[in-house]
């Protein structure tokens, strides 16, 4: 009976150790100090609310809500401007909307409801600019417009159709650079015939589109990056996705991340193609082709790499391109956050990139182009980190394993050894007592 008690005791210790290992612990210091508060007169404000649908149908009205908060200590006049455009080579503005012009006191909130009816389908960007006093605050957003018409597959078409039929594998998953649109950039409008040929709509199966700039500019001996956005606009999950770039004439290309394990429906993935141009290359345009592979098919794309002396004014193209990438990264980060993922590191990379890009834009306005190039390089480094972190979060599994710390393992090991030793000693003493008793009899 005594050895069973020992066993129950030590098993109870082990159980309590394991139980408390899984419980959260709180440690820290609280500092209480005297706080002195002084209020200075200053103008300040922020966009506290910017709401819009992520996806609508062509010819439907887009309702956009924006709220501005006076966080300063003085009154000022607030004006609002919303620019709407398509993501092309020049970030073309297709519409401007203005809101209310009001005088705001400290703590006041002003809400504006704006609207726009898109005539074309594809990706749109929005740039919200609020002017107050001598300052401005900005916010960016994107939405996707689905085509008004629906492609209906004839009921007599089946997967058994022969090669070249409507459901031939090449027709379903082949894709081509034509999916990217004509010379407008990411998602220019297509007519119905082009849509049927391009394979954007996979007859109700997997819907995948690719977004990337038509061309990039780089000087000989320098490097740059192309960001390719893969949009899973369907409902089926894509797996084992990778991007394979290909170039020529000594231009080195590489893609990051290496692969993305899972991309759910309505989500987007961002790949980064690094382009290293040799110093002795001729000034002309070089082709950069790439293919995105995934378990249900593939898509292809093309970018023109323009090598030559670049004008300082052309730096605005890079600024706008990076701004679009930051906007998309913020959108994907919000999606992952609501899915329960820890996006703190991703948000930090995005914030750093956004801060450096704001400085680059300010330096561009005052024509300090050397500083613009420096801050664009810093922005690119932060965007590279953000892209890799986004891919890492996409690839995380849903299996949660509690990993005990090393000290708990040591304590458990000592406890087990002690328990075994005590039981062994008890049994040895018990046998000795029994033997002595028998000898005495």
Q: What is the pLDDT of residues 371-404, one digit of tens each?
A: 988 898 899 889 888 888 888 887 654 333 334 4
Closest CA to 211 of 139, 257, 284, 268: 268
Question: Residue 322 and residue 320: Cα distance in Å, rounded?
Answer: 5
Cβ atoms within 10 Å of 353's Cβ, excluding its own: 24
Report the DSSP beta bridge partners of residue 55.
Answer: 144
Task: Indicate whether this model's pTM tops 0.75.
Answer: no
- 149-188 core/surface letters (b: 16 or more CB in 10 A; e: else): eeeeeeeeeeeeeeeeeebeeebbbebebbbbbeebbbbb
pLDDT value of position 327: 86
Residue stretches of the chain with pLDDT short of 70: 1-11, 13-41, 88-90, 148-206, 310-313, 395-409, 411, 433-441
pLDDT value of position 395: 66
pLDDT value of position 439: 66
pLDDT value of position 8: 67
- 325-352 pLDDT, tens digit per residue, is 888 888 888 888 887 888 889 999 999 9
């Amino acid at each position: 009976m005594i050895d069973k008690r020992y066993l129950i005791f030590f098993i109870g210790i082990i159980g309590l150790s394991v139980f408390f290992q899984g419980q959260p612990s709180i440690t820290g210091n609280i500092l209480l100090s005297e706080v002195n508060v002084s209020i200075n007169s200053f103008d300040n404000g922020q966009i506290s609310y910017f709401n819009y649908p992520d996806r609508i149908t062509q010819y439907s009205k887009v309702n956009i809500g924006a709220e501005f908060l006076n966080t300063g200590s003085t009154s000022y006049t607030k004006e609002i401007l919303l620019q709407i455009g398509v993501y092309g080579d020049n970030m073309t503005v297709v519409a401007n909307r203005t809101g209310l012009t009001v005088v705001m006191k400290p703590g006041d909130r002003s809400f504006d409801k704006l609207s726009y009816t898109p005539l074309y389908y594809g990706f749109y960007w929005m740039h919200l600019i609020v002017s107050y006093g001598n300052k401005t605050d900005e916010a960016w957003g994107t939405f996707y417009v689905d085509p008004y018409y629906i492609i209906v597959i004839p009921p007599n078409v089946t997967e058994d159709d022969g090669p070249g039929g409507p459901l031939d594998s090449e027709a379903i998953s082949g894709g081509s650079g034509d999916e990217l649109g004509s010379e407008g950039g990411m998602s220019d409008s297509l007519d119905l015939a082009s849509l049927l040929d391009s394979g954007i709509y996979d007859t109700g199966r997997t819907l995948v589109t690719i977004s990337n700039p038509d061309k990039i500019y780089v000087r000989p001996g320098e490097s740059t990056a192309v960001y390719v956005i893969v949009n899973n606009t369907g409902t089926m999950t894509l797996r084992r996705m990778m991007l394979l770039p290909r170039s020529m004439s000594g231009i080195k290309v590489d893609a990051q991340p290496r692969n993305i394990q899972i991309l759910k429906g309505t989500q987007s993935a961002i790949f980064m193609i690094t382009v290293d141009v040799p110093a002795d290359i001729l000034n002309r345009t070089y082709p950069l082709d790439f293919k995105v592979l995934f378990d249900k098919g593939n898509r292809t794309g093309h970018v023109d790499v323009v090598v030559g002396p670049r004008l300082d004014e052309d730096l605005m193209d890079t600024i706008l391109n990076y701004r679009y990438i930051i906007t998309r990264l913020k959108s994907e980060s919000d999606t992952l956050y609501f899915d329960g993922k820890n996006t703190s590191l991703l948000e930090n990379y995005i914030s750093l990139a956004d801060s450096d890009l704001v400085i680059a834009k300010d330096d561009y306005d005052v024509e300090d182009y050397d500083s613009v190039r420096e801050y664009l390089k810093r922005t690119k480094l932060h965007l590279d980190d953000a892209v890799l972190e986004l891919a890492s979060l996409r690839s995380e599994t849903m299996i949660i394993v509690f990993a005990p710390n090393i000290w708990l393992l040591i304590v458990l090991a000592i406890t087990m050894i002690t328990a075994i030793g005590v039981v062994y000693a008890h049994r040895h003493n018990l046998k000795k007592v029994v033997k002595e008793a028998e000898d005495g009899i």
